[in-house]
Amino acid sequence: MTVKKFNLPDVGEGLTEAEVVAWKVKPGDTVAINDVLCEIETAKSLVELPSPFAGTVTELLVEEGITVEVGTAIIAVSDNQPGDAGPVTQAPASAPAADTPLYGKLPADTDNGENGPAGGPLVGSGPKADAVKRRARKRPAGAGEATTVAENAEGTVQDHQAVLAAQAAQAPVPHRPTSARAAVAPVTQPQVTQAPATQAPATQAPEVTTSEGTAPGASTAQTAASRGAAISGTISGLVNKVLAKPPVRKFARDLGIDLADVVATGQRGEVTREDLVSYQAQRDAELDQAESFWGASKKPQDQRIERVPVKGVRKATAKAMVESAFTAPHVSIFVDVDASRTMEFVKRLKVSRDFEGIKVSPLLILAKAVIWAAARNPSVNATWVENADGNGGAEIQIKHFMNLGIAAATPRGLMVPNIKDAQDLSLKELALALNDLATKARAGKTQPAEMQGGSLTITNIGALGIDTGTPIINPGEVAIIAFGTIKQKPWVLDGEVIPRWITTLGGSFDHRVVDGDLSARFMADVAAILEEPALLLD
C-alpha cells in the first residue's frame, strides 16, 4: 500500500495561494480519478479540485477556511492493493516523498472556452440553486382568483399576450403591429365554454347580482354578458399587475421570488426568465433578514459591527480596481441613443428559425457594435505597457483581436470573463458565446483562463434598471462601456415628440491612450449601430 499526498496546484496563471472552502470527502472515503475532493477559492474564482489519484482518503491535511500556498500538501490518499487490510489513518514512515502531479494547468488552447480534454478538466462551482425564501406579500382580495382565471383560461399564452398588448396600448410602441391591438377584443361566451377541464364549468359562473341580491330568472343573454364582463374585468385588473408569462410565474414560484421585487427588462415591461435568473444570482447570499438586521440598541455600538474578511475574488478585484483608478487617468463620456430599431431587430431574431432556443437580447447587438466600432478606432482595443528598464518609458500595444469582456456580478464578487477572438464570430455564434459566458459566471464555473487577456469590456448595468454609470477600466485595457437600461421615453423625431426606446451609453477611457476625439468617435460609432443595426451588413 502506498500513500500519496496531493499538493495544492496552480489552477490559474501564476496564482500563489488559495483558500480551502469546503471538503467533499472525509477520511475513509473511496475516491476515483477526477472525483471532486474539495472546493477552493482563488483570487479569480471558486474552483473544484478533482482527484489525480484513485484510492482511499486517509487524512485531510488542511482544515476548511484555511488559506495555503500553492504546493502545500492538502490531502493524503492510499492506493488499496490486493490483500490490504483496509484504509489506514496515517502514512507510514517509509512512504515516498509527496507527489506533485502534472496537474492543474489548463490546456494551452483554451481560447474556445471549452473545459479541455475529457478526464482532466478543472471546473468551478458556484452557489447552490436553492430557492430564495422571501416574506409573503399581501395581495388585494381576489388577486389570486384573477391570476388563476387568467392562467387557466383557454389559450393562456395568447390571452397573456393580449394583456401585454393592452398595457402597451396605454403607452404606444412605435411600429407596433395592429394585430397586437386586436388581441384584446372582449372575451365572448363561446370562449368561456371551451375552457380546459381545470376551469370551473360555465354553468358554475357567478350569478348576476343586484343590490337586492341574486336576480331571479336572469336570462341566458344576461348571464353570458355578466361572464364576459367578469373576465374582461379580470384582464383589466391584470394590466395593472406585474406582467409575466405563465412559465415565468411558475419559475418565480419555484424560486420563491416575488415578481414585484424584480426589475423587468422585457420589451413591453414584462418580467422575463432572464430577469429572474439575474435576481436569483444577486440574492443567493442574501436571505431576507431585514427585520432582524439592526442590532439590539442596548448593546454598545462596537458590539454591533459585523466584520467580513476581504479575500479571494473580492480581494483581487479590490486591488485591481484601486490600481486601475489611480494608475490610468480616467475620462468618461455619455451618449443617449434611440435603440428602437435594435429592439425591433432583436424581436425578429427571437422568432427566427436560425436563433431558435438561443437567448437574444440587445446586449448581443451592443457586443457586435463594440467589435465593429473598435475596428474603426483601433486604439480603444489596446494596452498601455510600462517598460521594464525603469527609465519611465512605455508603449501602446494595439491588439488585432478582440477578447470581449463581459462584467458579471456574482455572490463572490465581480468577474470579467471574456470571449476569445470575438471578432471572428457570426451573430449567432456570438449569441451562443454570450449565453455560455453568462451561464458559467452565474453558476461560478468560469475558468481562470477565461478571465485572462481581455481587450475591452462591457458592463450591462441596464439589467438592474440603472440608466448609466462611470465604470472603472478593467486592468490591462484602456476602455469599458456601460450599457444602461432601455426605456420608452419621449423623443423628437422629424419634428414630432413620440415614444421611442432610449438607452444611455457611458464609456470610460484611459486618457493616456484614448483622447477626447477618439473616445467621442468610438462612442458615436457604437451608437450608430444601435440606432441602425443594418450598418453591420456593410
**Is 198:525 a contact under the CB 8 Å cutoff?**
no
**Is 346:362 a contact under the CB 8 Å cutoff?**
yes
The Cα-based distances of 211 to 165, 208, 214, 222, 223 in angstroms read 35, 11, 8, 16, 17
**Cell of residue 214, nine digits:** 341574486
- Indicate the pairing of strand 496-510 with strand 487-493: antiparallel
Question: Exposure of 505 by Cβ count < 10 A (0-12 exposed, 13-18 middle, 19+ buried)?
Answer: buried
Residues 6+ apart with CB under 8 A from 440: 124, 417, 446, 447, 450
Residues 6+ apart with CB under 8 A from 19: 40, 41, 65, 66, 67, 68, 311, 312
As a whole number of angstroms, the distance between CA 351 and CA 177 comes to: 15
Q: Which residues of 40-55 are buried (b: 16+ CB within 10 A; e: fewer)?
A: bbbbbbbbbbbbbbeb
Element housing 504 (H / E):
strand 496-510
Q: Which residues of 162-176 are buried (b: 16+ CB within 10 A; e: fewer)?
A: bbbbbbbeeeebbee
**Cell of residue 269, nine digits:** 415591461
Element housing 248 (H / E):
helix 246-255
Q: What is the CA radius of gyration of the chain?
A: 29
Residue positions annotated with a catalytic role: 511
**Is 131:255 a contact under the CB 8 Å cutoff?**
yes
Q: Give the 3-state secondary structure of 19-83.
A: EEEEECCCCCCEECCCCEEEEEECCCCEEEEECCCCEEEEEECCCCCCEEECCCEEEEEEECCCC
The identity of residue 82, as a single letter, is: P
The Cα-based distances of 440 to 12, 33, 168, 204, 447 in angstroms read 17, 24, 35, 50, 9
